[in-house]
Amino acid sequence: MGNFGRVPVGVVGASDYGGVQLVRLLMDHPEVELVYLGNQSSIGKPFADLYPQLAHAVNQKIEAVDPEVIAQRCEAVFICLPNGQACEIAPQLLEKGCKVLDLSADYRFNHLATYTAWYNKERTDRSTAAVAVYGLPELYRDRISEAQLIGCPGCYPTASLLALSPLLKQGLIVPETAIIDAKSGTSGGGRQAKINMLLAEADNSLAAYSVSRHHHTPEIEQICSDLAGHEVTIQFTPHLIPMVRGILATVYATLRDPGLVRDDLITIFRAFYRNSPWIKICDPGIYPQTKWAYGSNLCYIGIEVDPRTGRAIVVSVIDNLIKGQAGQAIQCLNIMMDWDETLGLPKLGFYP
């Protein structure tokens, strides 16, 4: 255990945007002590060399990713590595008794064949993957509380599934009619240099990408199928928008009962999320903006019904780096440790 009985935790892959968000949030968490920062590409560098603005708060160096060393020092480990790397070290950490929260796609799927088909990597850790729990607390809180391994959701699936879940779980829509139109800021692409993320390329422009083949599609479909009770195919199109952070997902779906009106759906959503402190359902006629969630772990949801088309329209916004990544992972850790779900997480966004 760490100082004053705090739980010692580590971050593997601390140098990317998700990693630095975790460092920032964990430094202020009252029940944990950040004792390890790891990344193979920056071994020996002070963390402050990568993020000088944190020099006054973080004096640790980046260390090698050695599961033996990590397990000796950490009770819980966050893995923020590219897809296909967490599965190489997570089994070893679990064997040594660590709780593992993976922020990549490696442990999000019930069937590794689906992962292989979309991520082009063969896996040998079938028994480890079988015990992973999908880390969306609003749906799987009870499972998370008993888990040792969490596959934390992607940012697009988080925003999209929070908009769709009440509709699917209550059987209010025809599942196959669901369409997700989602837009993300550039931080969703990580800190690595990419041509399409350059200011000259992304600014004053809006573009769809990975149309019909985005790797978050099977993740969304898996959870939608679980909620609906049968296999569901979803149309999902992501877009890059010229801002740093935030996701807005607009979901359209045909209602089974054409007599349902907006107030009915608002009542249903509020009941569905009555025990979910991070979900805020907007009043009638109010539709959220990404800036509302900026810097917080909140998800704002606005709801409408179009009587002409018989469709429900649900708008969901989150900060992709907090509720869509680091914040949600800490939310899961809080549940795993039987702490208050909101502990150490920002409850209000930055505005304006």
Active site residue ranges: 155
d(CA 201, CA 242): 9
Distance (Å, rounded) from C-alpha 292 to C-alpha 278? 13
Among candidate residues 1, 71, 78, 122, the one with its CA nearest the CA of residue 334: 78
CA atoms within 13 A on the CB side of 280: 20
Of 348, 315, 345, nearest in space to 328 by CA: 345
- Provide the 3-class DSSP secondary structure of residue 303: strand
The DSSP string of 113-148 is HHHHHHH----S-HHHHHT-EE--HHHHHHHHHT-S
Interacting residues of 194 by C-beta distance below 8 A, sequence separation 6+: none
Q: What is the full DSSP assignment across 83-100?
A: TTTHHHHHHHHHHTT-EE
**Preceding peptide of 30 cis, ω within 30°:** no
8 A C-beta contact, residue 340 and residue 145: no
CB 76 within 8 A of CB 7: yes
